[in-house]
Amino acid sequence: MLKSTIKIKRDVDYRLSFGTGGLYVNESIVLLNLYLECEDWSQVIEKSVENNILQFKSDASTRRATREICIRLQSLLPEERSFFLDADTQDQSMITWVSVCRTYDFIGTFASSILIDSYASYRLELSHADFDFFFEEQIQWHSELEEVTETTRKKLRQILFRMMREAGFLSRSMVLNALTPSSNLRNLTQQTNTDLIRFIPGVAA
């Protein structure tokens, strides 16, 4: 089979399309397995829509979510993709969170600054105000954020906090918890270990 060389184009601006949904761990497993069958991300999207693989209500929502998940999966190293499919639930959640942080600079910067600094300073209670402060601060470097409506900002905040809870390091009472990746995950690649430390509270401890 001739492999496609087409890659899904990334946005040049600060990417905020994570508002399409949550962490999507289980959906990532399904789509990565599908990619291993066809080795073509564009085909993964088309098959997902045609067969309603993700069980969403409309073709448009399926295409939108599948596209975002595929972009996240493309951020993973080949070793990480291979490990991901056979990993336990916690490692899968951490790998998925790392892929989110790599894909969306907004989230990656939030994680490496707000989350890591808060945990290191023993300020374990996270609040919506932390997100709002970060958002306002980022406008200095990303003027396009000024165009984001209050409704959209609240939705982005809601989705981000949902993803952190799904990743396992934020409790329902908004308290940061340390996560411990398996030794196999930490030793997978140097980049993997570096990003686990950069993006997940408590890993460096």
- What percent of the chain has a predicted confidence (pLDDT) above 70? 93
pLDDT tens readout for residues 23-33: 999 999 999 99
Which pLDDT band holds residue 13 (cuts at 50, 70, 90)?
A: low
pLDDT tens readout for residues 130-163: 999 999 999 998 888 999 999 999 999 999 999 9
Greatest Cα pair distance, the chain, in angstroms, is 53
Range with top average pLDDT, 1-10, 12-21, 113-122, 136-145 = 113-122
pLDDT tens readout for residues 68-116: 999 999 999 999 999 999 999 999 999 999 999 999 999 999 999 999 9
- Higher-pLDDT residue of 100 and 5 is 100
